[in-house]
Structure 1
């Protein structure tokens, strides 16, 4: 490992070789980053497992170099990883995540492609003011939509609610804390009426960072919970949802110019 490696991601620009990647697929789960690298990329090389932030360098079928990297859970960890990825030369990031649908017509196993985010995240406020738009790159988003259409994967495009907590912030009460602050009681129905599609925990901050740092960001999430019916993740369909999201992201990365 070279001496210019960055503190958190554990590698530096010199580790990326003579043909460094400009695009990264970013997963919260290190196992998802590994799955992408081992199952979808070619000539894969492990760059780092520092702090559980697994990163892999590989190549798409068209020989385009790409990173499969880990952001960790939540926006604060993502903000650190993204800052360092930009430092090593990454200029396009596709987040591959999971989410809970808050609209009755969005089914578990499908994917949501976020065009923008309702950003209720503290990390984002350190990057830009609350009023700063959290919008995905339109061209990278279209690439995701086109990929989903070509692969015939059920998909929905729209606004995502990005919040900092899995339980209270997503109005879950079946947990260690059954009591919600009054400001969160009924928030899911309010978002539903505002045509918000889903809950997740990272893309709002990612989109704000992209606007400030001037790189392209987009997000595709597999739907693993249907919040109009239950608070629970449907584990039996999680693998399908994740594989659908990965397939869409990988195809979009291959075709995006």
Structure 2
């Protein structure tokens, strides 16, 4: 239903102009002129060149800047991201039940971005559920287009969540880790990216108030409603699944099992509670935009004790724990407002 609405073309091309601006110059006189308009925007450091784009096709999520997009997405308050399309489809149905959203008879949740075949995205009232794939490059593409989406839609006070799985470091499998800040393999709390031959460095601390709110909900519901232990700590973000995480079963491995254990122990000594592959980009880009966000992952294993998940069924049960924690936060905020 939403897909059909967004696919209709606006007859009046003037409607495609961004409503944040009183004018869009046909000829750009200087970057400074554009930046003056952007001083009024809610998203910090937003690309000033977007001001003069009459059309902007968000290729990887198959949406286009338009008045219809604004009407369809202006109510979005929460964007929940996870690696797997199947998992985020399941979360979409779960959050629908939690917040009590009733769909019209005969209408089902539909993948809004199915035409792109890159990401799967669902809108559930004020909540977006979308998969981000694996690794920082994949989540970077999605974050860029989601940030533009909420900008074009005029969304206010949007909160981002990354919910997923990870390898724990000195924590019991099934523990939910709320990231305080992400670090790279050198334990630097920085997202580093090469732009035009120069290194850009962005900070990777999660929103402290949001982290504390999530921890408080975890404390209240611990050992109830399928939520187990919830802790906070640093998250190490690796560039790959194998060597970057010190595994011994990749195609390449030029270190010993002893060296692996020494590194994992060093992680623990540096306050690292878990290892995954997206938190640096997630926190780095959201901090740059001054958008609230937090990473919430469940540990499938304790890497100090091994690399293998105990069982498939237990894995499925663990994956649902961040769902439940985030859903309780969203429901509480919606009831408060």
Distance 2:184 2:134 in 1: 16
Which structure is richer in relative contact order (CA contacts within 8 A, separation 6 or more)?
A: 1
Distance 2:299 2:207 in 1: 21
Are 1:31 and 2:86 matched, yes or no? Answer: yes
Query: What TM-score, normalized by structure 1, do the two folds share?
Result: 0.86
1:160·1:200 contact (CA, 8 Å) conserved in 2?
Answer: yes
- Aligned pair count reads 247
Q: Mapping of 1:166-245 within 5 angstroms?
A: 166-180=241-255, 185=260, 186-234=262-310, 235-245=312-322
Query: What TM-score, normalized by structure 2, do the two folds share?
Result: 0.67
Deviations 1:107-162 (CA, angstroms, capped at 9, x unpaired): 111211101111349x9322896764210011221222122223223111111111
Per residue, is there more strand in 1 or in 2?
1
Change (3 A) 1:56 1:188: same
Over alpha carbons, which structure has the higher Rg?
2
Distance 1:18 1:10 in 2: 14
Alpha-carbon deviation of 1:20?
2.8
Change (3 A) 1:40 1:132: closer
Give the RMSD, CA atoms, in angstroms.
Answer: 2.5
1:98·1:200 contact (CA, 8 Å) conserved in 2?
Answer: yes
Distance 1:22 1:249 in 2: 13
Deviates more, 1:40-49 or 1:214-223: 40-49
Structure 1 residue matching 2:247: 3-state secondary structure: coil
Aligned to 1:93: 160
Deviates more, 1:247-256 or 1:13-22: 13-22
Aligned to 2:219: 149
Aligned to 2:182: 117
Question: Structure 2 residue aligned with 1:9, among 61, 67, 76?
Answer: 61
Aligned to 2:326: 249
Deviations 1:42-72 (CA, angstroms, capped at 9, x unpaired): 334431122341000003xxxxx11001111
Change (3 A) 1:169 1:92: same
Structure 1 residue matching 2:117: 3-state secondary structure: helix
Deviations 1:79-106 (CA, angstroms, capped at 9, x unpaired): 1101111111163210001011111xx2
